[in-house]
Amino acid sequence: MRLLVNLEQQYEVWIDAEQTLFSLPYGMKWKRISGGEYLYELADRAGNGSSLGPRSQATEARYADYQVEKSMAIERRDQSAARLAETGRLYRALRLPLLASEAAAILREADRRSLLGSHLLVVGTNAMPAYAIEAAGRIADAPDETQDFDMAWTASRQNTEPPVLWPLLKAVDATYTINTEHPNQARNASAYEVELLVAPSRDAGFGRRDRPRPVPLEEQEWLLNGRPVSHVVVARDASTARIVAPDPRWFAMQKLWLSEQDKRNPLKRPKDARQALSLLRAVAETMPQYPLDAEFEAQLPPPLMQCYARWQAAQASP
C-alpha cells in the first residue's frame, strides 16, 4: 500500500510536468527579417510558426519566461521519471496487477493531453487492474488483459476544435490506421486494436472530423453512472499510466447483462460473465466504498435489475 501511494504521488509530479510541457509552444526563437529581429513561436521541428512581434522588452520577457518554464518542467519530468522507474520495478517485483503496454502508452498520452476522465474512460478488460487496486488485492478468476483496448468517449460538449483523439493515437504510434470495415476501430502495425464506444447522450460531443468514429450504444449510458475509479498502475514494459474507469458496480452489471445478449460475440460472452461475477464478488467483499445497497438497487434499470436479482439469488443459495 505504501508503494501504491508513492507511485501515485510520483506519477502526479511527472504528469503535471508533462502537461505543462504539452501546453507550451514547441519552441521559440529569434529570426532576423529585413534587418530586424522578431520572436517566433514554433509549431514543429521543421520551423513552422508565427511571429509574436519585433524584439522589445515585452517579447524578450516572454522569451525568457518561456525558457525558464520549459527548463523547470523538463527538470521535474526527468527527476520524477527516474523515481517512477524505480517504483515501477518494485511494483512488478510485488506482482501487482499489470496493464498491457500498448494500452499504457495510449493512457499516458491521453493524460498528457488532459483527456482522461473528462473525455475518455477505460471501459473494457484493461480496467481490471484499477479495480484490483481499488479492492486492495487481486480479483480472482477475472481475465485482465486482451489484445485490444476499449475506450468510451464521455465529453458532452460539441468539439468544434481540430481533432482530439486521432492526433493522440498517431502521437503514440504513427502506424495506427482506421479499420475500413469498422470505422470505430483503429489498428497499428502490430495488429493492436483500439475500439471507441459512446453513450448516445455523449455522441454529439465527439468532433465531426475526429477518428475513429465511436459507435453509440444504449448500454454505454449505464457506465456514466456512479463514481469512477482512478488509479495509477504499471504496465508489462515497466512504464506507468493512469486508468480512469467506470464505477465498478455499473461496469460489472453491464458486463453481466452483455454476457446474456445474443448480439454479443459468443466468444466474448463467457469472459464477460467471468469478469462480471468476479468483480461483483470483489465489490461485495472488499469495496465498502461502493455499497450494493438499496440506494444502488433503486438506480438500476429493469434489464440490469433482473440480472442483479438473479446474482443475489445465486449468492443466497447454499
Q: Judge if 261 and 296 occupy the same domain.
A: yes
Query: Looking at 35, 62, 93, which one is the last position of a domain?
Result: 93
Identify which of 172, 188, 202 has the alpha carbon closest to the alpha carbon of residue 110: 172
Number of domain units in the chain? 2
User: Taken in order 254, 209, 207, 242, is the CA torsion positive or negative?
Assistant: positive
In this predicted structure, the answer to whether residue 176 has a pLDDT above a threshold of 80 is yes
Rounded CA separation 119/107 (Å)? 12
From start to end of 43-104, where are the E strands?
49-54, 98-99
Rounded CA separation 302/285 (Å)? 25
Which whole number is the average pLDDT over 196-213? 94
In this predicted structure, the answer to whether residue 10 has a pLDDT above a threshold of 90 is yes
Looking at residue 111, what is its pLDDT?
98
Q: Judge if 262 and 116 occupy the same domain.
A: yes
Q: Which helix (H) or strand (E) holds 22?
A: helix 2-23
Question: At 177, which amino acid appears?
Answer: T
Looking at residue 43, what is its pLDDT?
87
CA atoms within 13 A on the CB side of 44: 2
Q: Judge if 151 and 47 occupy the same domain.
A: no
Q: Judge if 198 and 179 occupy the same domain.
A: yes
Q: Judge if 167 and 65 occupy the same domain.
A: no
Q: Judge if 30 and 140 occupy the same domain.
A: no
Q: Judge if 43 and 108 occupy the same domain.
A: no
Which whole number is the average pLDDT over 123-130? 94
Query: Looking at 39, 64, 93, which one is the last position of a domain?
Result: 93
Q: Judge if 246 and 212 occupy the same domain.
A: yes
Looking at residue 34, what is its pLDDT?
87
Q: Judge if 32 and 113 occupy the same domain.
A: no
- φ and ψ of 243, to 5 deg: -105, 125
Instruction: Show the cell assigned to 84.
Output: 517512477
| Tens digits of residue pLDDT in 64-91 | 999 999 999 999 999 999 999 999 999 9
Looking at residue 137, what is its pLDDT?
83
Rounded CA separation 243/220 (Å)? 18
Interior/surface letters 36-55, b for 16+ CB within 10 angstroms, e for the rest: eebbbbbeeeeeebeebeee
Q: Judge if 174 and 50 occupy the same domain.
A: no
Q: Which domain holds residue 124?
A: 98-316
Q: pLDDT band at residue 45, thresholds of 50, 70 and 90?
A: confident
Q: Judge if 309 and 280 occupy the same domain.
A: yes
Q: Judge if 197 and 226 occupy the same domain.
A: yes
In this predicted structure, the answer to whether residue 160 has a pLDDT above a threshold of 60 is no
Whole-number Cα distances in Å, 157 to 121, 139, 175, 205, 238: 16, 36, 29, 5, 35
Query: Looking at 58, 75, 93, which one is the last position of a domain?
Result: 93
Region at 226 (left for phi over 0; alpha for psi -120 to 50; beta for the rest): left
In this predicted structure, the answer to whether residue 40 has a pLDDT above a threshold of 60 is yes
pTM score of the predicted model: 0.91
Which whole number is the average pLDDT over 16-25? 95
pLDDT mean across residues, the chain: 93
Instruction: Show the cell assigned to 211.
Output: 477518428
